[in-house]
């Protein structure tokens, strides 16, 4: 049981950290995306005198910004930044419950049956989180995964060993 608690606790901590990093990345990309759309709209009107000399450039910028404007609601990564941070917060809450279970198990103050019951209750909570956000596809971003893994390992080395 000890290995199962430890493994699930580490997995949930990783998910918490990774979804928080994905949320930040999605937010920043969404902000840049919105800035570009606003900038393209503003410059296309405000700089008409300049653009009249370069009509192909102006037409290209307007066309690209219009396509991006239409596509924005369909780019799930950008659209789901709030869901990613909510997932992260729920994983954090679940992690804290696993951490408590870990320390309860290590103290041996509770019966094995109680520990097992709490463990499966926590597994059920994880399943509920996954089911709640089943419409969200969390992207696999190798760099963020490596950073999240390093951060998780650091937390476990400094907090538990």
Check the CA dihedral 42-48-53-59 and report its sign.
Answer: positive
Which of the four pLDDT bands, split at 50, 70 and 90, describes residue 46? low
φ and ψ at residue 134, rounded to 5 degrees: -65, -25
Rounded average pLDDT over 46-65: 72
* Of 113 and 64, the one with more pLDDT: 113
Average predicted confidence (pLDDT) for the chain: 89
pLDDT, tens only, 70-125:
888 778 788 899 999 999 999 999 999 999 999 999 888 778 899 999 999 999 99
Question: How many whole angstroms separate alpha carbon 79 and alpha carbon 136?
Answer: 10
Q: What is the pTM of this model?
A: 0.85
Two tokens, residue 139: 């992207």
State residue 54's pLDDT score: 73
pLDDT at 120: 97
Helix, strand and coil content of the chain, in percent to the nearest 5, comes to 85, 0, 15
pLDDT in tens, 110-149: 788 999 999 999 999 999 999 999 999 899 999 999 999 9
pLDDT of residue 64: 83
Give the tokens for residue 18: 């990774």
* Residue-level pLDDT at 44: 63
Size (the chain), residues: 161
């Amino acid at each position: 049981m000890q290995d199962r608690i430890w493994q699930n606790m580490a997995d949930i901590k990783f998910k918490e950290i990774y979804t928080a990093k994905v949320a930040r990345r999605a937010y920043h990309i969404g902000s840049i995306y919105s800035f570009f759309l606003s900038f393209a709209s503003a410059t296309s009107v405000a700089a008409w005198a300049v653009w009249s000399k370069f009509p192909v450039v102006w037409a290209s910028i307007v066309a690209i910004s219009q396509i991006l404007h239409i596509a924005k609601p369909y780019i799930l990564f950008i659209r789901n930044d709030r869901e990613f941070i909510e997932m992260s917060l729920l994983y954090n809450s679940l992690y804290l419950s696993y951490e408590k279970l870990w320390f309860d198990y290590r103290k041996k103050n509770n019966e094995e049956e109680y520990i097992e019951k709490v463990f499966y209750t926590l597994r059920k909570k994880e399943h509920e989180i996954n089911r709640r956000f089943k419409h969200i596809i969390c992207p696999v971003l190798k760099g963020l995964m490596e950073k999240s893994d390093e951060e998780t390992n650091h937390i476990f080395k400094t907090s538990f060993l």
